[in-house]
Structure 1
């Protein structure tokens, strides 16, 4: 398991900036990584401007940023499937996202955690999910074979309060070649127990990034102790902005 690409500082999870309009601000805030999106191959206009401009528009805006200094926050892009796309097109949708985002991102996160994707998280869709995992890792293999940069891949999925399906799905992604599982922790007292189960299931095959309910340095330490290799935050930043960082970064870790 290679964790060298993971930041030691907490990262900012997807969902804060889908169109890259806040990229300069967020990348300078002090996070170890910033994940943009989730975006889909085609734009999906919403109630708010830039709700989902599509991966092409997001990649173009990120590409226009000034060069980042060494040690700057890593850039992640969350890739999803279009709302009108059939489940059978999951692999094609993900590969399209990879092809567009691979030159501007430091890692890609393939999102199965959003509510719109919950219907895919059933045993009936197991073959489609495995196909998508293999398709994306094959896309990366082809990209690197012609001189492209190796791009770490993460699968983002809800860890759930119970049940073995998310754990088996995480293991399948790791077996296919995904580098990390971004585990959305349940809002329950068993959340860290689920994280420990995921660590046992993966057996070091892939890194674990924990997100959900992490609001302080104490929460960061608890997640790392339970098996996470890195953490992301979302709600605390949405509520407090950069004011949340001093407590989050109050850790005995090297940046």
Structure 2
């Protein structure tokens, strides 16, 4: 069970959130600056997380960082923005989440933008491979995208990401979703080529169990933690 991104965008609550009982905690979304579009958010978050790691003792949750484009950067700069962010957070994060669920990036989900996305996914996967070949730190790659509502086609971008070689899809369930049928349908479609993590509307242990039955390898919570804090995490772990 993980904490979804958006609650702490700059690492200022790292000590609190990493002690709240999660298996993973996602920070951000942040960006690395690129030519013509400066952005220090990824660098600032990386510095805070590095300080936390230096002072931490014992087992720690996995740390994730959501990555996006710098404000005002055009869609064509997506790959450059992701790569700039990756270079900054690799070494302090266990995984990055390439965030296509944010409002600014949702237009990129249109089929006309799929060639651009395919190139961006390929660039990120190639960068990671080059880092590993050079003996550098490896990092898990996730893509976060909206799952869509009942009756809509499953997100085609999920297939692009899996084909490129990402490790995980974090799928955001539609507001008001009452079942996990779309999670199950996507799990069948990708057939184990990447792990699925479900986020949105996870409020009880029954929801966690339903997500697991649908094929999710894990879940993330957001509103539950906002409303209940660490007590909500403990309740889910206790089967409540």
TM-score, structure 1 normalization: 0.87
Contact 2:176-2:201 at 8 Å conserved across structures: no
Work out the CA distance in 2 between the residues paired with 1:145 and 1:233. Answer: 35
Q: Against the structure 1 CA distance between its residues 225 and 94, is the aligned structure 2 distance closer, same or farther, given a 3 Å change threshold?
A: same
Query: Which residue pairs with 1:58 in the alignment?
Result: 45
Contact 2:225-2:232 at 8 Å conserved across structures: yes
1:228 pairs with one of 216, 221, 231: 216
Contact 1:185-1:191 at 8 Å conserved across structures: no
Shift of 1:187: 2.2
Contact 1:27-1:72 at 8 Å conserved across structures: yes
Shift of 1:190: 5.8
Over residues 214-248 of structure 1, what are the superposed CA-to-partner deviations in whole Å (9 max), with x where a residue is unaligned?
01111111111111001100011111211211221
Work out the CA distance in 2 between the residues paired with 1:191 and 1:218. Answer: 11
Cα RMSD of the aligned pairs, angstroms, is 1.8
Over residues 145-196 of structure 1, what are the superposed CA-to-partner deviations in whole Å (9 max), with x where a residue is unaligned?
1111221100000000143351x21122111110000000112446511101
Number of equivalent positions: 234
The answer to whether the aligner puts 1:18 opposite 2:9 as a matched pair is yes
After superposition, where does 1:54-93 map in structure 2 within 5 Å?
Answer: 54-65=41-52, 66-93=54-81
Work out the CA distance in 1 between the residues paired with 2:177 and 2:96. Answer: 30
Q: Against the structure 1 CA distance between its residues 42 and 172, is the aligned structure 2 distance closer, same or farther, given a 3 Å change threshold?
A: same
2:109 pairs with one of 114, 121, 130: 121
The higher-RCO structure (CA 8 Å, 6+ apart) is 1
Shift of 1:102: 0.8
Shift of 1:32: 0.3
Q: Against the structure 1 CA distance between its residues 73 and 30, is the aligned structure 2 distance closer, same or farther, given a 3 Å change threshold?
A: same
Query: Which residue pairs with 1:178 in the alignment?
Result: 166
Contact 2:198-2:220 at 8 Å conserved across structures: yes
Shift of 1:53: 5.5
Structure 1 runs of 4+ with >2 Å offset: 66-71, 162-165, 187-191
Query: Which residue pairs with 1:212 in the alignment?
Result: 200
